[in-house]
Amino acid sequence: MKRAALSLALSAVALASCQQPAFAGETVFDAPAAKLVAHESPGLKTAVFDGGCFWGVEAVFSHVKGVTSAVTGYHGGSQADASYSRVSTGRTGHAEAVKVTYDPAKVRYDQLLQVFFSVVADPTLRNRQGPDVGPQYRAALVPMNAEQRAVAAAYLKQMQASGVWKRPIVAGIEPYKAFYPAESYHQDYAFKHPDSGYIRAWDAPKVTALSRMFPQLYKARYTQG
């Protein structure tokens, strides 16, 4: 009985988290390779990406070579409000975000940006991505060091001038505040729930697009955690 109740409760949370799609699929973009290449020192680095529902952001980066960890969470507000129930109101200042740890010897920060804006987030949408609407679903880059900030700023300018996107680029750069990991049931969600209607409609196509558009960066194995 307790197991059944828990299952129903988690299902209800999952349905509320990233809204069920009215239609399937998202547009992918042929984002340009960065003109300003990242030159980061050896050793693992981290970066935070706000990109709509964090399940899909995590799923894509978990399939990128050189990424050792992708953790869903909340960025941009206070620790006191960093819970799904509060963030989902859209009034806490947080965005659903993913903290990516990567080896710059295998994948550069500028390459992560190209992947992000090709198959993860539409940079022309303000406070929404796919079927999810609200400031918690905004698309933004959150650099963690001076090199990332310089590369991110240059890349956004390059995107604006590229002509790839027919609408103005509204995605921006946010200063890093603090990252708060999301509840355990949000972690590795696409890996644990591949048959979820939301995952199949919105996030699995992003991973497929990654494998097709970036075969040199794609890895079939899902990096958990």
CATH at 140: 3.30.1060.10
Residue 189's φ and ψ, nearest 5 degrees, are -65, -45
What is the pLDDT confidence band of residue 146, given thresholds at 50, 70 and 90?
very high
1 within some domain? no
Q: How confident is the model at residue 71 (pLDDT cuts 50, 70, 90)?
A: very high
Residues forming the active site: 53
**Residue 12 resides in a domain:** no
**pLDDT band, residue 18 (cuts 50/70/90):** confident
pLDDT category, 75, cuts 50, 70, 90? very high
CB 225, CB 188: distance < 8 Å: yes
Position 58 scores a pLDDT of 98
* Structural domain for 60, as ranges: 31-213
Q: List strands edge to edge, sheet with 67-75.
A: 172-173, 139-142, 45-51, 95-102, 67-75, 179-181
For the segment 175-213, what is each residue's pLDDT rounded down to a tens digit? 999 999 999 999 999 999 999 999 999 999 999 999 999
Q: What is the pTM of this model?
A: 0.90
DSSP 80-142: GG-SHHHHTTT-SS-EEEEEEEE-TTTS-HHHHHHHIIIII--TT-SSEETTEESGGG-EEEE
Classify residue 119: in a domain, yes or no.
yes
Q: In the prediction, which pLDDT does 17 show? A: 57
- pLDDT above 80 for 15: no
The per-residue pLDDT of the chain, averaged, comes to 91
Give domain status of residue 183, yes or no: yes
Count of domains for the chain: 1
In the block, residue with structure tokens 């679903």: 137
Residue range 111-136: mean pLDDT, rounded:
97
> Is 223 part of a structural domain of the chain?
no
Residue 114 lies in a domain: yes
8 is a domain residue: no
Cβ atoms of 50 and 146 closer than 8 Å? no
- The mean pLDDT value for 128-155 works out to 97
